[in-house]
Amino acid sequence: MAERQVVLDDTLGELKAVLPPLPDLRAYGASGLLPAPKLWVGAATTNGSGAWTVDTSSAGFTAVHVPLAVGWSGATAQNSQLFVSIQDWTLTQVRGFANTSASSSVLGLGTVNQWAGNRSVLVWVLGA
């Protein structure tokens, strides 16, 4: 069997990841082995409102079992940690938002989390 490598393109300037060769991918759900699983791996950068989108059309999914997204900020302070959520997904894209735990006062009435612009979001999508 030919050696396979998945390389995450370093378009974010601060992110580099190379996964070792993967054996034949097997994925399991509650009912057992998932037929013909595919894994899409990529990254996005949030816009000024904290929104992000990835285009997964290169995988040619006919089904999406689970998308996962993780924020990567390199921050060490507790009040600068990145929180990422997935808004929705289709066979060709995943969209979501990111914010930080840093807060700011709104008219002196309390605090709200700040949207995190220009942050890195790592995305994995398991599909078929």
Residue 109 has pLDDT above 60, yes or no: no
Task: Report the C-alpha gap between 69 and 65 in whole angstroms.
Answer: 14
Residue with more model confidence, 115 or 113: 115
Residue 16 has pLDDT above 50, yes or no: no
Dihedral angle, C-alpha 66, 72, 56, 124, nearest 10 °: -30
Residue with more model confidence, 113 or 118: 118
**First CA to last CA across the chain, in angstroms?**
21
Residue 112 has pLDDT above 60, yes or no: no
Task: Report the C-alpha gap between 26 and 29 in whole angstroms.
Answer: 10
The SS3 of residue 80 is helix
Q: CB–CB of 102/114 below 8 Å?
A: yes
Task: Report the C-alpha gap between 100 and 93 in whole angstroms.
Answer: 24
Residue 60 has pLDDT above 60, yes or no: yes
Residue 114 has pLDDT above 80, yes or no: no
| pLDDT at site 81 | 76
Could you tell me the pTM of the whole model? Answer: 0.73
Spell out the CATH class of 6-127. Answer: mainly beta
